[in-house]
Amino acid sequence: MGRLRFCVEADDETSAKAMACELHISRKHAYEICNVIRGMKFGNAKKYLQEVIEMKRAVPFKKHKRKVGHRRGLNKWYAGRYPVKAAEAILRLLEDAAANASYKGLDPEEMRIWHIATKKGRTIRGIMPRAFGRATPKNTETVTVEVILKGGEGEH
């Protein structure tokens, strides 16, 4: 696997970065969670993801919304789900970025999620044996998620 880089460049003095590679979560769920928490303050995003994990708050599905049921509590939207596994993975990533910010001497509670994105990871090949000596592919898709927290000046 080659070296993974961040999609955008950020100032090292006022930002903290973290990346999680080859997570075994749904790409669609990760995409929808990232769209919701982009631009939020770190504390608000952490609280939001904990509510999703406890199934108290739904994530609005705006792009991948076909055959997705309606959920109450969504603001100006109808389709939503509770992607617990993806929310746990992204919450862990946010806490890693906050730890990096603390190590640099920045206050993570005052920082905002400036950039968060998902990328397609490696496909892990697998097969499922079938009758009469045949086999069916059973591949596992992985996801790479990157986050940049930014504080102080230059917030969007």
Per-residue model confidence as pLDDT tens digits over 114-152: 999 999 999 999 999 999 999 999 999 999 999 999 985
Q: What percent of the chain has pLDDT over 70?
A: 96
Q: What is the mean pLDDT of the chain?
A: 94
Q: Nearest-CA neighbor of 92 among 23, 1, 27? A: 23
- Alpha-carbon distances, residue 114 vs 1, 24, 94, 126 (angstroms): 27, 24, 12, 37
Which pLDDT does position 156 carry in this prediction? 47
pTM of the shown model: 0.91
Domains in the chain and their CATH numbers?
A: 15-150 (3.90.470.10)
142 with 14: CB under 8 angstroms? no
The 10s digit of each residue's pLDDT in 5-61 is 999 999 999 999 999 999 999 999 999 999 999 999 999 999 999 999 999 999 999
Which pLDDT does position 155 carry in this prediction? 44
